[in-house]
Structure 1
């Protein structure tokens, strides 16, 4: 009677097997089955336990760094073209007014005004030049450029933090922006299974700005001594840098180093933990091909000169160039093997474009997550038993049909979550429980429509066909409406609300398959077994 019944049965079996495989794989033992289930069903931080961090990117650091680079370019070009000036300085904005960064140039000769304006236009195109008086000028960053700096800084910070967390093996962690990049500049980090985030916080907060630069003078015991020996003025394009003491007996020293490094962290290809010539912890690094060429040319031309390795503005080591060095180096003066490994990790991940501060830290214990899972399961099972009991009492044998569809709905929902590696959270469990109600609602619509057709005098096969056909559009209408609502929840909600929306949408899609396709196939199978059925238990 129903020629395509075998095809429908094959489709249903295929879906069941695919979902079962995505949940438990192909286990060879009970232990492997449990392990596969725990691996494939990824639990969120609120269920598994872990750490929740909110970081704020100090975007003013990026604005200041951009202004400092612009000042260096401006000074260099003005000196080349013989344009005198008394000072070139920037202001020091905070987080709230970071985009008010401005550069003030004083003492430009009136006869050099045209040349100065040309230099400012060519080399500081992201700034707007305004005259204060005939010899002084102020450059302010353009609003569009300021917005781009904010956005790019937050995006770069997210990418760097994500690389560092993945390097620690925390693949299930979540790193995403919270709020607007042009406003709060906040990053949310969720790390399931991490209950002591102290080390991770230190790794995430490390800027890891690596510079290998030429030493122009030193060591000096104090910055004042360095200034005194240079007549109170540092040589052009240099800066003072402090060296970290190597041991308990050492005292800190100061060096004059070039502002323009020979190579930076951007030229790194790899970094790994190692040991120095005294078997103390160190970090070995390898340069990229281009970085190696630059480093090789410089060291070949400057044998006998000194180089300093700076990390986050502080000198870790100073060495004299003995021969040409191409593609490798070592950072010494590191406290422990763990610090050496962590430094290698952050160097591989790249430097942060700006410093970060922690606004919020929350830890969920594993026992609290287990309690949430247990309570969620109790709620789901209680709801399922209640719904099944009512369906069996009210719809009799057809209630069995609805129960099978309900169980398959749950299997398909969990299977899809596992297949797409989605994370199940406590709000996600709420979405699963709500799906149970939505699934039963679809069955009720279909069954009541079949009852109406039977009361209208139609035969059982005709009543079933009409019941499914006429209820289908209503089911689609209600599901589409709910899915649109979930889309808004996903777009504008936080991570918890998104988990609820995702699980509900997947449940609704699964419900269309189970309530319409599977339920209809069960009715057709029953009619195929008993073509002369006189009464439908509904």
Structure 2
């Protein structure tokens, strides 16, 4: 009797906890105090059930290497000017090299010493004397280039994750796939096009000076050295329309968005239009203060992904590390721009290799058909157990219903995602749950045929069948855990419900049904076993 009471308390506690975890997922109104005291996580539906987006992105990691070469080219220029080594040109070539053209061939040894000391990731590929002096071709060492590519993929993964988190998607699935690809699944997304633009936006923010006295509409071949024409978007304050134009900028970037610590949307009180307010870190604030102090009365262009959004005249030195981006933004565009600036720029462009959109109606249809199949399967199993095993079948059916309750509660408790393959896992678990009871019942029948009393046959049946049940379920659980660890998408969804279902079926088949039988024999004084 003492053991029976303890087992009853255990089952009651498990049942109570299951109901507590499952209630938030049911269409019932919970009291206000519930959310502050008890669990309120719902069962999350996967992409195939509630609709959403499935994307496979490829990071153009080689572009990160080219960006590194551009940065190194600028740093080499600064170094040679500092060391008073004369050069004619330093630039990145199309085939992935840095070309250094010295004005005097006698400086070759000094250049080699400086390069080896300050830029160890570069290796000399070719050196030759030319009529203009001395030309050297360098490239990034392959080991370092591969590290840059891997870092670009990891940074792109984190940047995309930060952007999606701020976008407000519930339960996104973002993970690397292969060498330079990223899998993105966004369940319940309502605006796929906006999500695509947010994910793929490079968000390279640059501050450049406007080239004074240069006509942006002139022949590009006549532009002065170090000047480039950029497209410009601005709002006509009289008509409120967006005006497309061109502006000539000095090619040197004075400041980039890597120093941004915050970006927020604000409303211009004069024109009632949104703009993005920026805040820089201490180093960025010092750079911005120096730039504005050295270029008073000059135009400073704000360039985002190669498009100029504004080019205000610097009236005075600006301290405090604050700036703003104005332009023809809608409120939604301004919010998205603030998100990508806060999350950081992508280290390399990404391209969409695969895109699938699942509509909410298709997801609802999947839910309806999935649960219909689960209901039909459960009804068939319940009827079979009652017809074949009679009262013992009723006991197994009670355990089966509790088993389904435990699976759903487990999904909510572990904040797992229920997918269509996951529903298939539940249906499979229903069959596996009664399979354990079938093993026990058939063992009891064998013991009764040997002439044992019902109570003795019950004890022997459970004792001898339990080890077999444990062996079969533990091996299946190991396979399910391997699928969960290494599987993706549908395979992982199936493994989640199968793993929870196996543990639940072991509990209901061995503990719950034995408790019910012991209650009938001890409390109700049952003398025969209907099996």
TM-score scaled to structure 2, two decimals? 0.87
CA contact (8 A) 1:51 1:364 kept: yes
Q: 2:452 matched to 1:453? A: no
Question: CA 1:239–1:249 in 2, change beyond 3 Å: closer, same or farther?
Answer: closer
Match of 2:285 in 1: 292
User: Shift of the alpha carbon at 1:366?
Assistant: 2.1
CA contact (8 A) 1:211 1:265 kept: no
User: Shift of the alpha carbon at 1:219?
Assistant: 5.6
CA distance in 2: counterparts of 1:249 and 1:490, whole angstroms? 51
Task: Say which of 403, 410, 414 aligns to 1:416.
Answer: 410
User: Shift of the alpha carbon at 1:495?
Assistant: 0.7
CA contact (8 A) 1:275 1:283 kept: no
- Which runs of 5 or more residues in structure 1 are unaligned? 94-100
Q: 2:484 matched to 1:490? A: yes
Task: Say which of 291, 314, 323 aligns to 1:321.
Answer: 314
Q: 2:375 matched to 1:381? A: yes
CA distance in 2: counterparts of 1:483 and 1:112, whole angstroms? 70
CA distance in 1: counterparts of 2:81 and 2:190, whole angstroms? 56
Aligned Cα root-mean-square deviation (Å):
3.0
Match of 1:96 in 2: none
CA distance in 2: counterparts of 1:270 and 1:320, whole angstroms? 22
Task: Say which of 330, 336, 358 aligns to 1:342.
Answer: 336
CA contact (8 A) 1:283 1:331 kept: yes
Moved more, 365-374 or 431-440: 365-374
Match of 1:193 in 2: 188
CA distance in 2: counterparts of 1:61 and 1:502, whole angstroms? 38
Q: 2:399 matched to 1:405? A: yes
CA distance in 1: counterparts of 2:335 and 2:510, whole angstroms? 56
CA distance in 1: counterparts of 2:15 and 2:70, whole angstroms? 62
1:206-234 deviations in Å (ceiling 9; x for gaps): 21222234x2632632375787574xx33
Question: CA 1:506–1:244 in 2, change beyond 3 Å: closer, same or farther?
Answer: same
User: Shift of the alpha carbon at 1:38?
Assistant: 11
Q: 2:420 matched to 1:431? A: no
User: Shift of the alpha carbon at 1:314?
Assistant: 2.6
Task: Say which of 431, 435, 439 aligns to 1:441.
Answer: 435
CA contact (8 A) 2:24 2:30 kept: no
Q: 2:63 matched to 1:70? A: no
Question: CA 1:123–1:466 in 2, change beyond 3 Å: closer, same or farther?
Answer: farther
- Which runs of 5 or more residues in structure 2 are unaligned? none
User: Shift of the alpha carbon at 1:507?
Assistant: 0.7
Q: Secondary structure at the match of 1:56?
A: strand
Task: Say which of 80, 83, 86 aligns to 2:82.
Answer: 80
User: Shift of the alpha carbon at 1:428?
Assistant: 0.7
CA distance in 1: counterparts of 2:473 and 2:104, whole angstroms? 73
TM-score scaled to structure 1, two decimals? 0.86
Q: 2:262 matched to 1:269? A: yes
CA contact (8 A) 2:42 2:412 kept: yes
CA contact (8 A) 1:160 1:352 kept: yes
CA distance in 2: counterparts of 1:191 and 1:92, whole angstroms? 37
Q: 2:2 matched to 1:3? A: yes
Moved more, 384-393 or 151-160: 151-160
Runs of 4+ with >6 A deviation: 36-39
Moved more, 221-230 or 471-480: 221-230
1:154-211 deviations in Å (ceiling 9; x for gaps): 222222222222222212332222x21x2xx222222223354112212222212222
User: Shift of the alpha carbon at 1:392?
Assistant: 1.5
User: Shift of the alpha carbon at 1:86?
Assistant: 4.8
1:443-493 deviations in Å (ceiling 9; x for gaps): 122222233333344444443333323323322222222223223333443
Moved more, 358-367 or 435-444: 358-367
User: Shift of the alpha carbon at 1:309?
Assistant: 1.6
1:394-436 deviations in Å (ceiling 9; x for gaps): 2221111211111111111100101122111111111111111
Match of 1:44 in 2: 46
Alignment of 1:71-150 (within 5 A): 71-92=73-94, 101-107=96-102, 111-133=106-128, 135-150=134-149
Match of 2:166 in 1: 167
CA distance in 2: counterparts of 1:144 and 1:483, whole angstroms? 42
Q: Secondary structure at the match of 1:217?
A: coil
Task: Say which of 53, 56, 59 aligns to 2:55.
Answer: 53
Match of 1:516 in 2: 510
CA distance in 1: counterparts of 2:223 and 2:48, whole angstroms? 60
Aligned residues between the structures: 516
Q: Secondary structure at the match of 1:439?
A: helix
User: Shift of the alpha carbon at 1:269?
Assistant: 2.1
